[in-house]
Amino acid sequence: MEGDKAEDPKKKSYAGIPEAEFMEDVDKYMEAPTISGNVELVLKKLDEQHSKYKFMEFHLLSKRRRLKVQIPDLERSVDMIKMLSKKKDCTEEFTTHFLLSEQVFMKASIAPTNKVCLWLGANVMLEYTLNDALELLNKNIDTAKKNLSFVEHDLDFLRDQFTTTEVNMARVYNWNVKKRQAAKAST
- Average pLDDT for the chain: 90
Segment 19-25 shows an average pLDDT of 93
Segment 83-97 shows an average pLDDT of 88
pTM of the model: 0.80
DSSP the chain: -HHHHHH-TT-S-SS-PPPPPP-S-HHHHHTSTTTTT-HHHHHHHHHHHHHHHHHHHHHHHHHHHHHHHHHHHHHHHHHHHHHHHHHTT-SS-EEEEEEEETTEEEEEEE---SEEEEEEETTEEEEEEHHHHHHHHHHHHHHHHHHHHHHHHHHHHHHHHHHHHHHHHHHHHHHHHHHHHHHHHH-
3 — pLDDT class (breaks 50, 70, 90):
very low
Segment 135-156 shows an average pLDDT of 97
1 — pLDDT class (breaks 50, 70, 90):
very low
Segment 104-127 shows an average pLDDT of 91
8 — pLDDT class (breaks 50, 70, 90):
low
